[in-house]
Amino acid sequence: MTGSLTLVLLMAVLFGAGISIMLERSLTRVLIGFLLVGNAVNILIYLMSGTPGLAPILNDGVDPEAISDPLPQAFVLTAIVINLGITAFMLALIYRSWWLAQLGEKGDLVDDEADDLEDAEETADLIRMSAADDAAIQQIIDASDEEPENAMSPSDDDDSEVGP
C-alpha cells in the first residue's frame, strides 16, 4: 500500500466519522465531528497538491517544472486558522448552553434581578426629588402672587436698596 492510498483511506475515514458524529444532538459531538472533517479537508488539500518537489524559490538552473506549488500549503494553513476560529466559537456556544442549562427556569435573568431593584429604587428617588422640586417651585410662585400691601416699589424710593 502506498503513502497516497493510505492518506486517501485516512481522509475517507475522517470524513465518514466526522459527518456521522456531527449528526448527533450533543454540541460537544458536533464539535468533535467538525474537527475530524476539518482535518480530513486538510489531508484532501495536501493530496490534491500533487507530487512533492523543490522549494518554491527560483534560482539559476532550476527547472520551473520541478518546483512544488506553494498554494496548497497556503490553503492548508488558512484552513487550520479558520478551523481554530470556528472551534473557539463553538466552544463558547457549548459553554453558554451549559451555563444556561445549569440556571434552570430563570435562565439568563438571574443577574438582572439586582440591577432591576437598583433601577427601581433610583427611579423612585428621582420621582420623590421631582415632586419635592415641584412643590418648592409652586410655593415660590404662590408667594410671588401674594405681594405684601406695605411693600415698597422701586419707583417710590430711588435711593434705598431693595432687599429681602
Tens digits of residue pLDDT in 7-31: 999 999 999 999 999 998 899 999 9
Enter the C-alpha cell of residue 99.
451555563
The answer to whether the CB of 93 falls within 8 A of the CB of 27 is yes
Tens digits of residue pLDDT in 87-107: 999 999 999 988 888 877 766
Residue 119: which pLDDT band, with cuts at 50, 70 and 90?
A: confident
Residue 114 Cα to chain centre, angstroms: 24
pTM of the model: 0.58
Enter the C-alpha cell of residue 44.
484532501
Taking Cα atoms as reference points, which of 24, 53, 50 lies closest to residue 36?
Answer: 24
Q: Within a 13 Å sphere around the CA of 109, how many CA atoms are in the beta-carbon half?
A: 7
